[in-house]
Every structure is written in structure tokens, then in C-alpha cells.
Amino acid sequence: MVTPQILAASYLFHMIATVIWIGGMVFMPLILAPAIQGTPESGRVFSAIGRRFGPLAGLSLIVMIVTGMVQLTASTHYVGFLNIANTWAKAILIKHIAVGGMISTVLYMNLVIQPDIRRATMLLSAGKGKPEDVAALTHRRARAAQINLALAMVVLLLTAIARAQ
């Protein structure tokens, strides 16, 4: 059984990690990307921010998983693994699917799009690339960030639905 103190600490750390993770996903597409879009250094800025934010986001994800498991098992609504007999369980299941989508999108951005942008930028600076290639990849990154933002809002909505139960 989880003590009230452990549950309270779990809620605190879960909320801090959520603010960091989702805050970054809100900041990037709504503030950073429009502010630097079209500037020659946009690729470098995104890379630098990714190097600093990536480890923090990863740590936040680990904290959310651990604290989420504590909260899940402490909930009176939890009746067993993949038992979706109530609204709370349905909301939590869909929330976890959305989180999986967010993780997949971030991996795609970091492992596919960002390296492609670096290559295209290097080719462009060497006179062998085309500006439209960099622009297309930057647009793809922005689209992925928008998808992640939408999924983050779904996660928050489903959290609110589960908490209201």
C-alpha cells in the first residue's frame, strides 16, 4: 500500500516532469519555431536546444513513468492491467497510447528529421544543396512538433477526465 506521503511526492514530481516535458513541446512550435523560422541559424539553434532539452525531457519521461505507476496502483479506480471497465481506465489507456505517440514523434524528429536537416544544411553551406530542401525538412519538423503538441493536449484532457472520475 502506498502511503499518503509517497503519493503526495509522486504527484509533485509527476507534475514537475509534466510541466518540463509538455512545456518544451508547447514552447518549441508556438514560440521558438516561428521566432527563428527562415533564419540561417535556425538549424543550429534547434540542435543546440535539442542537446540541452533532450536529456531533461528524457529524465522527465522516466520520472513520469515511475510516478505514474505509483499513482496508478494507488488509485481506487485501477482494477487490473488492461481492465477498461470504467471511464477512468479508458481515459488512462487512451492517455498512455497518446504518450506513446508523443514518444514516437520525438524519436522520429530526433533520429530522422534533425539529422536530415543537419546534412541538408551542410550541403547547402558547401554549395551543393538547395535552400528548398532545408525549408521542406524544417516544415516537416514543424509539422511533427504540431502533432506532438496536439497529442500533449489530448494527454492533458484525458488526465482531466480521469481525475474527474
Cβ contact 145:103 at 8 Å: no
Residues contacting 14, CB < 8 A, separation 6+: 63, 64, 67, 68, 71
End-to-end C-alpha distance for the chain, whole angstroms: 21
Cβ contact 77:97 at 8 Å: no
The rounded percent of the chain whose pLDDT value lies above 70 is 100
Domain housing 51: 4-163
Question: What is the distance between the alpha carbons of residues 57 and 26, in angstroms, rounded to a whole number?
Answer: 13
Convert the pLDDT of each residue in 35-78 to its tens digit: 887 777 777 787 788 889 989 999 999 999 999 999 988 887 88
**HSE (CB half, 13 Å, CA atoms) of 134?**
21
42-70: b (≥16 Cβ within 10 Å) or e? bbeebbeebeebeeebeebbebbeebbeb
pTM of the predicted structure, to 2 decimals: 0.83
Number of structural domains in the chain: 1
Q: How would residue 104 be classed by pLDDT, with cut points 50, 70 and 90? A: very high
Looking at residues 98-123, what average pLDDT do you find? 92
